[in-house]
Structure 1
Amino acid sequence: MGKPSSTSAETAARLASLTSWDADWSGLRVVVAGIGVSGFAAADTLIELGASVVVVDASVTERTEAQAETLRIVGAEDVLLGTGAVERLPTVDGAQPELVVTSPGWRPDQALLAEAARRDIDIWGDVELAWRLRNRRGKKTADWLTITGTNGKTTTVGMAESMLRAAGLKAAAVGNVGKPILDAIREPVEYDVFAVELSSFQLHWENSLSPVASVVLNVAEDHVDWHGSYESYLADKAKVYAKTQKACIFNADQIETERMVEDADVVEGCRAIGFTTGVPAVSMLGVVEGMLVDRAFIDERRSHAAELASLGDLGAMAPRHMVANALAAAALVRAYGVEPAAVKAGLQAFLPGDHRIQAVATVGGVAWVNDSKATNPHAASASLAAFEHVVWIAGGLSKGVAYDQLVADHARRLRAVVLIGRDSSELAAALRRHAPNVPVFPVEPGQTGQKRPGDEVMANAVQLAAAHAEPGDVVLMAPAAASMDQFDSYAHRGTAFIDAVRALAAKGTSEE
């Protein structure tokens, strides 16, 4: 006979008490949904804290089996792999679980999570768990600066981290950027502050965060398939502002983000701070005569502005959205007390990540640019806007978004379009409607028997683009779609593009 489950009231009281590393986590019955980067970190942490943990994941691969074996060795009660493992809620230590900790990508209507919700079992994300564990006896508690948005999150988090370090602070970029927050919390380093990248998925599952400053960089239709509607997506993004202590930072060029701040329940005294790529008003950051300036965090803001950096400090290829990201990062760190000189030094030291408007080569007067990170129309639009004459490589997994506005806004720039993706019919239809005179060249899906069919797809796409580009054009790979239909990831897609362009350049050199 299994152990009796605790009452809902007892469980609720216990979960409410779990607000530090040193709270009593021992014996807490937890199901961890997912064995990826964040799921593994959550399970490993909870096991270290003495909780009874069962981990589930649908994937059965060499990697997941190795992860499962590691978790069993360190003390997981069980690790269940395979599609059947995620269809219903398992017992833990012979009883109903008291808590489910889910990986960010798991949708709320997934069978196991839906069952937990029906049973009134609390569901936390890895971010909620990390926030509750941030306080630990004998160790400095790092402050959080939180960043979300449809696009630009990783760049902004990296810029903020660079500025904070330039100010002499022990800072780390964590969260959706790559390093799980839980791993950073468990490191022996005593961090002063975290720059935390949060996806809409992560925000959906959190309820306790109280950051020093927060920002929504921008919003556009994305992940509608996961959230169920654009309105639900916006509601989850807006959660980043809840309980903010000092500054809610919004995009003054996008009214939706300002409304989110207006509706947010924040700590008394928290300020609303805007950023704009135009001339800033009072309590805003913006651009004046090629300088990034601050009219928010200075005493004489009604009549003066503090110079933070020049546009040149952002590098030679700094499109408008990169300037916006820099201003958002500057607003976050200025709210935290960082001086202007450190903002400038941080921007000068910052190196943008790969696959983000990355110049690859110039071949025969044609520039080749990799923006594989442009996984939705909003990101692709920002990328297209940076160039005048474009041969556009686009397409992939659409995630339920529309392309009409994107094509209509940039039809005049398009020399030709090369379509990748197993099904890019929606993008093709938008091109027929709004750019009927632009030639469109679909790429065959590739040989499915190949180990990485995406490599062949991209090589063919590059050959087609080269055939239709003219000197002075830019061949831009900004797909406006996710990559998983033909590639392992957006990074694989970008790397395949780089390899194909370099092969093209080498061939051109050998033929001279």
Structure 2
Amino acid sequence: MDAEVTAGGGTAGTGAGDLSGRNVCVAGLGVSGPPVARALLARGARVTVVDGRDDEASRSVAAELTAAGAEVVLGATPLPQDCDLVVTSPGWRPDSPLLVRAAEAGVEVVGDVELAWRLKPADQMWLAITGTNGKTTTVRMLEAILRADGRDALAVGNVGTPVVEAVLPDAGGHVHDILAVELSSFQLHWSESLRPFAAAVLNVAPDHLDWHGGLEPYARAKGRIFARDTIRVVNTADTWSVRLAEEEGDPHAPLVGFGLGTPRAGELGVVEDLLVDRAFVDDPGTSAEELAGLTDVQPRAPHNVANALAAAALARAAGVRPESVRAGLRDFTPEPHRIAFVASSGGVDYVDDSKATNPHAAAASLGSYRSVVWIAGGLLKGAEVDDLVRESADRLRAAVLIGADRARLREALEKHAPHVPVVEVDAAGLPEGRTVMDAVVAEASAAAREGDTVLLAPAAASMDMFANYPERGRLFAEAVRRAL
């Protein structure tokens, strides 16, 4: 890693904010579509919104946008006549018919983040975060640290405030000075001119491979976060993070590492029970700065300490004082369903990590505990689980499996952890009045011993049995409280 870091990186948007009179198509009425449409209308664009859905919720949103001046087409996704720009919802695949037609017609296609970058004030600083896991936690930590330093900062992206809203003045004419921006691989795919002041790739593991067409293009999409002049913040324990910074980033921009070991010059790391900075100091070769203690990081799981170090690195790149890192981490409140303690009974802890929706996240969760009764299963989305089970086998007391792909998990357990008792819970076979999670908690509690952790870390998506991962985690916690 580079031994000395000074503030650099790009802060100015493209200035391409003149949208008056342009014919813009907004593809999708999802989370990003309505705020994008409103922002375009406010800039004088002629806006057509299209969405293949035509349900009650879509019609309600469509009515609001129509009243605001947009044309809305539901139940079909035509490319409007004379359209000269498409702003797509992040989840739309490049091979979606509308986007293919736009490409064939030579119409530019961008995402909501790219549009926001073009509209933002030139002096607004963006600190950007991507990765397969840990994005929301890290961006919230970063927001807390920046605010503890007295900065006018806001976390945006997939964490509440749409990024396009955060670059435009509010009703009082105010725009935040600094944005902590969570970016998905989808959003980065549709971003061309994005140039954050500093950016981090937390980790890369197989995910969304059906959308991107494989691990390599998925990772390369993440790597777009390292633009010209952007300070590169990398996880020294993650091969892809380092590789993307070196291959996709600006070789002349500072390179800062973070990891759980003793930091070298140009890195942030851990010394005994302290988070330490050897990058943003006067002499990285001979000096270090204490930022916080491990007790300031909650929850204090290894992967969450890494998240805290990444947030600290981005904040320090922006000139935040060391003491503000500690204050911000203490102020930080973890998002629900992320290694969240639920209850304890008979020396057994119950933990909800329903957000562990892929094997990489589940591995980090399992690695945080010594002896685990593991609740897993759902939709694996084609992900492999052999490595996860092999590496976690010595931590497993037992496993309780649910969901559509539980057979794949059972196969991996039989192959790599044959000593681990396995119980499957089939929702179809439950007596009337008994929920899946009641049965799961009963089986897990029966297998647990004093000192164990009953851990919901499914390694899979939830939509086969639940509305989403928050519902899965909530129902688990409710079942635990009923049982204890």
Q: Tell me if TM exceeds 0.5.
A: yes
Partner Cα distance (1:467, 1:111) in 2? 52
Q: 1:160 aligns with which of 142, 161, 186?
A: 142
Look up the match of 1:13: none
Look up the match of 1:297: 280
Cα distance, 1:107 vs. partner? Answer: 1.5
1:129 aligns with 2:115: yes
Look up the match of 1:345: 327
Partner Cα distance (1:251, 1:313) in 2? 20
Cα distance, 1:152 vs. partner? Answer: 0.7
Look up the match of 1:53: 47
Q: 1:118 aligns with which of 90, 104, 120?
A: 104
Stretch moving more, 360-369 or 379-388: 360-369
Equivalent residues of 1:209, 1:243 under 8 A apart: no
1:44 aligns with 2:44: no
1:211 aligns with 2:205: no
Cα distance, 1:348 vs. partner? Answer: 1.0
1:90 aligns with 2:82: no
Partner Cα distance (1:339, 1:161) in 2? 14
Equivalent residues of 1:361, 1:369 under 8 A apart: yes
Aligned 1:9-88 pairs, distance under 5 A: 19-20=14-15, 23-77=17-71, 79-82=72-75, 85-86=76-77
Aligned 1:382-421 pairs, distance under 5 A: 382-421=364-403
Specify the code of the residue in structure 2 equivalent to 1:160.
Answer: L
SS in structure 2 of the partner of residue 241 of structure 1: coil
TM-score, scaled to structure 2: 0.93
1:221 aligns with 2:215: no
Cα distance, 1:498 vs. partner? Answer: 1.2
1:376 aligns with 2:358: yes
Cα distance, 1:447 vs. partner? Answer: 9.1
Equivalent residues of 2:79, 2:101 under 8 A apart: no
Cα distance, 1:171 vs. partner? Answer: 0.3
SS in structure 1 of the partner of residue 70 of structure 2: coil
Aligned 1:229-248 pairs, distance under 5 A: 229-245=214-230, 247-248=231-232
Partner Cα distance (2:82, 2:402) in 1? 47
1:257 aligns with 2:241: yes
Look up the match of 1:274: 257
SS in structure 1 of the partner of residue 32 of structure 2: helix
1:468 aligns with 2:436: no
Partner Cα distance (2:195, 2:233) in 1? 14
Partner Cα distance (1:265, 1:368) in 2? 42
SS in structure 2 of the partner of residue 207 of structure 1: coil
Look up the match of 2:133: 151
Stretch moving more, 24-33 or 227-236: 24-33
Specify the code of the residue in structure 1 equivalent to 2:463.
Answer: M
1:192 aligns with 2:177: yes
Structure 2: 5+ residue stretches without partners:
1-12
Look up the match of 2:9: none
Partner Cα distance (2:164, 2:438) in 1? 39
Equivalent residues of 1:210, 1:244 under 8 A apart: yes
Cα distance, 1:258 vs. partner? Answer: 1.3
Cα distance, 1:331 vs. partner? Answer: 0.5
Partner Cα distance (1:32, 1:260) in 2? 31
RMSD across aligned C-alpha pairs, in angstroms? 2.0
1:254-282 superposed Cα distances (whole Å, 9 cap, x missing partner): 2221121112343x852001111000111
Cα distance, 1:120 vs. partner? Answer: 2.7
Specify the code of the residue in structure 2 equivalent to 1:491.
Answer: P
Specify the code of the residue in structure 1 equivalent to 2:275.
Answer: L
SS in structure 1 of the partner of residue 141 of structure 2: helix
Look up the match of 1:172: 154
Look up the match of 2:6: none
Partner Cα distance (1:319, 1:36) in 2? 34
SS in structure 2 of the partner of residue 240 of structure 1: coil
Cα distance, 1:360 vs. partner? Answer: 0.3
Equivalent residues of 2:275, 2:291 under 8 A apart: yes
Partner Cα distance (2:116, 2:276) in 1? 34
Cα distance, 1:378 vs. partner? Answer: 0.7
Partner Cα distance (1:426, 1:55) in 2? 41
1:319-376 superposed Cα distances (whole Å, 9 cap, x missing partner): 1111111111110010110010111111111111110000000123221000011111
Equivalent residues of 2:79, 2:102 under 8 A apart: no
TM-score, scaled to structure 1: 0.88
Specify the code of the residue in structure 2 equivalent to 1:90.
Answer: L
Q: 1:311 aligns with which of 294, 298, 302?
A: 294
Stretch moving more, 98-107 or 55-64: 55-64
Partner Cα distance (2:303, 2:150) in 1? 27
Cα distance, 1:123 vs. partner? Answer: 1.1
Specify the code of the residue in structure 1 equivalent to 2:134.
Answer: G
Specify the code of the residue in structure 1 equivalent to 2:376.
Answer: A
1:484 aligns with 2:463: yes
SS in structure 1 of the partner of residue 225 of structure 2: helix
Equivalent residues of 1:294, 1:307 under 8 A apart: yes
Equivalent residues of 1:223, 1:400 under 8 A apart: no
Structure 1: 5+ residue stretches without partners:
1-17, 506-512
1:426-476 superposed Cα distances (whole Å, 9 cap, x missing partner): 22222222112322222224599x9xx9x9332322222122222221110
SS in structure 1 of the partner of residue 160 of structure 2: coil
Specify the code of the residue in structure 1 equivalent to 2:392.
Answer: H
Equivalent residues of 2:373, 2:399 under 8 A apart: yes
Stretch moving more, 115-124 or 487-496: 115-124
**Which of structures 1 and 2 has the larger relative contact order (alpha carbons within 8 angstroms, sep 6+)?**
2
SS in structure 1 of the partner of residue 147 of structure 2: helix
Equivalent residues of 1:396, 1:424 under 8 A apart: yes
Cα distance, 1:26 vs. partner? Answer: 2.0
Stretch moving more, 407-416 or 186-195: 186-195
Partner Cα distance (2:52, 2:442) in 1? 38
Instruction: Pick closer, same or farther for the CA change 1:57–1:458 going to 2, 3 Å.
Output: farther
Q: What percentage of aligned pairs have identical amino acids?
A: 51
Task: Count matched residues.
Answer: 468
Cα distance, 1:393 vs. partner? Answer: 0.8
Cα distance, 1:61 vs. partner? Answer: 3.2
SS in structure 2 of the partner of residue 458 of structure 1: helix
Look up the match of 1:6: none
